[in-house]
Amino acid sequence: MAETVEAEETAPAPPKANLRLIVMLALVVSAAAALLVYGGMMWLKPKPLALSNDLGTERYDPAGLGGRLIAEWTGNAGYKFTVDPLDPAQIPGFQATIANPPHAITFSLKMKDATNGVECEKDIVIPGVPEGQGAFDQSSAMAPRTLPTGETLQNVAGSDGQISEMVLSGSMPCNLDAYKKIVAWEFTTDFPPLSTQKDWEKHEDQVQAEAKKGQSGSKAPVSYGGYYLVRSLPTPIEADDVIVSDNPGKGIVATSSGRAFLVGTKVLVNPALDWQIFPADIHYRCDRTAMCMVTRLSSRSAVRAHLMR
């Protein structure tokens, strides 16, 4: 019997996996997973702390000043301290004092916690010797400047053009834990009291008026107890000298080298300025208009003056 050989039907082979496609899908999945992990980490990562704490206003009545303090944290502690007169009538004296301080002025800030404990302290010192010489210059006075201690000082003019506000800003020696506890503050200062501000305003007006006379070439010299204002100098001068006498009634001091300076009567009777004891070593610097800064070396107190002969 003949064997019938039946052809075996061959089952269709399963499709081959596309190795390249699988690799690409794996890379895509891995990249997506990495992005998700990175995004989650960035979302959970603490963001840099940026805090601002407006501590409100305080006042210092002896000098007739109000102050507003804003504490800031941007990785380090900082502050913005705004000072202005409590009464608009004080603005002329405030401007005269700020524009040409009769001595170095210190503002002492204390930041406190809820128990009235001091968490941070800051002393801001404005030098008594101004950067410029001669008559008051509004544009120079309004320009921001950096103090020797690193603070920034910016004077602000009011509607009448006079300096009505001073803004100081800088850093504070305060860590984050202490900063977070600050809820209150206070300030003290040796800013001249109200009566002295008024006297200094008159002094500045007198000095500037005499400077203008000298610049206008007035030929009618005014005698101050035998002394006369020097109208101009060929070049600026600077030297050390010794005050040996004064005339408080005329506001004049005289030196051992024969020079004399008109400093104003109020300077010579103000004990806060320490100009009553002689002899006294001084350093003076005068510009070509004969406007001078005279510094008493024993106290580092400096006043504006007009050179005399």
7-66 pLDDT tens trace: 455 555 555 556 666 767 767 667 666 666 666 565 555 544 558 899 999 999 999 999
- Whether residue 186 has pLDDT greater than 80: yes
What is this structure's pTM?
Answer: 0.56
Domain ranges for the chain = 51-192, 199-308
pLDDT at 149: 79
Return the closest-CA partner of residue 67 out of 198, 173, 167, 159: 167
Q: What is the pLDDT of residues 68-87, one digit of tens each?
A: 999 999 889 999 999 999 99
Peptide bond into 279 cis (omega under 30): yes
Q: What is the pLDDT of residues 82-125, one digit of tens each?
A: 999 999 989 988 988 888 787 788 999 999 999 999 999 999 98
* DSSP three-state, residue 74: coil
Determine the distance from the C-alpha atom of residue 52 to the mean position of all C-alpha atoms in its chain, rounded to a whole number: 19
Q: Find the mean pLDDT for residues 133-137.
A: 49
pLDDT at 63: 92
Cα–Cα distances in angstroms (integers) from residue 171 to residues 56, 112, 166, 168, 193, in the given order? 18, 17, 17, 10, 27
Alpha helices in 182-264 (DSSP H): 194-216
- Whether residue 136 has pLDDT greater than 60: no
Name the percent of the chain lying above pLDDT 70: 71
CB 161 within 8 A of CB 138: yes
